[in-house]
């Protein structure tokens, strides 16, 4: 979400979330389960060329590497769903419509930034943040195979072409590596905190396959975002529990929300956001805002049961008075498949 709630960004793939879990190569996952190129997801096949034939998903990433053709992917039990980011504009009635695609062209939809966020800079212009595992680094010992954090400048409300891959190199690439170098460890779900002047002064992110904590870096005095430089990496004290999966941070200066295991939780912050984030005394107790059904819950296998929550963000509602919590939720369908949706809860 943008801070004013005017724009919503999501990651999209025309498959059931069940297909992101083993066994990924199951035949049912090659059936298109969502809109492609219709009114709801225009421009999908233009960005993910070669991946959709009628109602079938072609399991290939050969645009990135000729080895990764359909035969190789199938023989090795690999499945990479085509994916893209979409933006939506808030309507007068508070719903979101007018979808527009955001992504890289020429990559078969196999190399797509994720954990998207947008910061309005002026008019329709915005700065996009996201995590991206640059496929040029895959399998290169001297490079970082982990996803890194990137930023790009573009406009909201129209298709955003972040780059064009020609099979061997990028003809264009609008994304810029934040700070010009990889941050330590695998990184994902970046979130920028604006210091009141419209400029990002603190960058937060998580490590979904690493320490499973929430990290931050202050922008150095006199530096500009995204070039940096940045101060040393710190860990948000209240979300640094060993063995607890905490990710997808959102911070508005007075409160942080994260996905903790399968729930959405918060912690109040009482310090100076431009100085005190690393000080434990300025963070309040963890409060569960939204709770999913647990695996041992008798209802966990029933259709309609919410089994996971995530991607929390807070924005102003259409009336600009109450804050609104936006989040994703995973619900079990009647056919056994899982479905991912967006939920909205106004502040009481």
- 67 token code pair: 């080895």
**Burial letters 283-310, b for 16+ CB under 10 A, else e:** beebeebbebbeeeeeeeeeeebbbbbb
Q: What is the pLDDT of residue 192?
A: 96
Whether the per-residue pLDDT at 340 is higher than 60: the answer is yes
- Domain coverage including residue 139: 7-182
Residue 114 in any domain: the answer is yes
Count CA atoms within 13 Å of residue 100 on its CB side: 15
CA contacts within 13 A on the Cβ side of 331 = 13
Residue 327 placed within a domain = no
- Residue 283, pLDDT > 90, answer yes
Q: Which of 22-31, 160-169, 333-342 has the highest mean pLDDT?
A: 160-169
Question: Confidence class of residue 271 from pLDDT cuts 50, 70 and 90?
Answer: very high
The answer as to whether 312 is a domain residue is no
* Predicted pLDDT of residue 122: 78
Q: Out of 122-136, 144-158, 228-242, 311-325, which region has the weakest mean confidence (pLDDT)?
A: 311-325
In contact, 68 and 60? CB cutoff 8 Å: yes
pLDDT interval class at 41 (50, 70, 90) = very high
This prediction's pTM: 0.91
Q: What is the mean pLDDT of residues 3-10?
A: 91
pLDDT at position 48 is 95
Confidence of residue 320 (pLDDT cuts 50, 70, 90): low
> Cis before residue 285, ω within 30 degrees of 0?
no
Q: Considering the domain boundaries, does residue 12 fall inside one?
A: yes
Coil, strand or helix at 56: strand
Euclidean distance between CA atoms 296 and 145, whole angstroms: 36
Within-domain flag for 84: yes
Interatomic CA distance for residues 124 and 95, integer angstroms: 19
- How confident is the model over 197-207, as a mean pLDDT? 90
Buried b (16+ CB within 10 A) or exposed e, 221-249: eeeebbebebeeeeebbbbbeeeeebbbb
- The answer to the question of residue 328 being in a domain is no
Residue 128 is assigned to a structural domain of this protein: yes
Q: How many domains does one find in the chain?
A: 1
Phi then psi for residue 288, to 5 deg, are -80, 115
The Cα angle at residue 44 between residues 42 and 45, in degrees rounded to 5: 125
**pLDDT higher than 80, residue 208:** no
Q: Is residue 138 part of a domain?
A: yes
Edge-to-edge strand ranges of the sheet holding 125-132: 114-122, 125-132, 148-155, 176-177
Task: Please determine, for residue 196, whether its predicted confidence score (pLDDT) is greater than 70.
Answer: yes
Q: Can you tell me the mean pLDDT for 301-311?
A: 85
State the DSSP H helix or E strand holding residue 209, giving kind and residue range, or none if neither.
none
> 255 vs 134, which has greater pLDDT?
255
């Amino acid at each position: 979400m943008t801070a004013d709630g005017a724009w919503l960004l999501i990651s999209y793939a025309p498959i059931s979330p069940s297909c992101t879990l083993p066994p990924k190569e199951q035949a049912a996952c090659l059936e298109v389960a969502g809109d492609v190129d219709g009114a709801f997801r225009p421009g999908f096949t233009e960005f993910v060329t070669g991946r959709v034939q009628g109602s079938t998903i072609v399991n290939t990433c050969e645009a990135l590497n000729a080895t990764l053709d359909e035969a190789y992917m199938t023989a090795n039990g690999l499945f990479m769903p085509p994916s893209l980011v979409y933006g939506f504009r808030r309507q007068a009635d508070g719903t979101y419509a007018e979808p527009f695609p955001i992504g890289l062209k020429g990559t078969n939809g196999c190399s797509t930034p994720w954990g998207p966020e947008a910061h309005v800079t002026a008019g329709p212009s915005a700065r996009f943040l996201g995590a991206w595992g640059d496929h040029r680094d895959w399998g290169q010992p001297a490079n970082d195979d982990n996803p890194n954090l990137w930023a790009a400048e573009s406009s909201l409300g129209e298709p955003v072409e972040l780059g064009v891959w020609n099979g061997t190199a990028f003809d264009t690439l609008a994304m810029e590596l934040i700070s010009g170098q990889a941050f330590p460890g695998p990184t994902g779900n970046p979130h920028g905190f604006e210091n009141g002047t419209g400029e990002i002064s603190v960058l937060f992110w998580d490590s979904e396959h690493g320490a499973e904590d929430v990290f931050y870096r202050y922008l150095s005095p006199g530096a500009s975002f995204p070039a940096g430089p940045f101060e040393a990496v710190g860990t948000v004290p209240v979300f640094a529990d060993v063995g607890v999966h905490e990710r997808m941070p959102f911070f508005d200066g007075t409160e942080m929300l994260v996905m903790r295991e399968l729930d959405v939780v918060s912690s109040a912050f009482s310090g100076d956001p431009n100085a005190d984030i690393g000080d434990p005394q300025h963070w309040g107790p963890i409060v569960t805002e939204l709770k999913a059904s647990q695996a041992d819950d008798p209802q966990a296998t029933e259709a309609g049961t919410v089994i996971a929550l995530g991607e929390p963000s807070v924005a102003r509602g259409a009336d600009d008075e109450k804050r609104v919590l936006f989040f994703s939720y995973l619900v079990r369908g009647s056919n056994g498949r899982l479905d991912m949706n967006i939920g909205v809860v106004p502040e009481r």
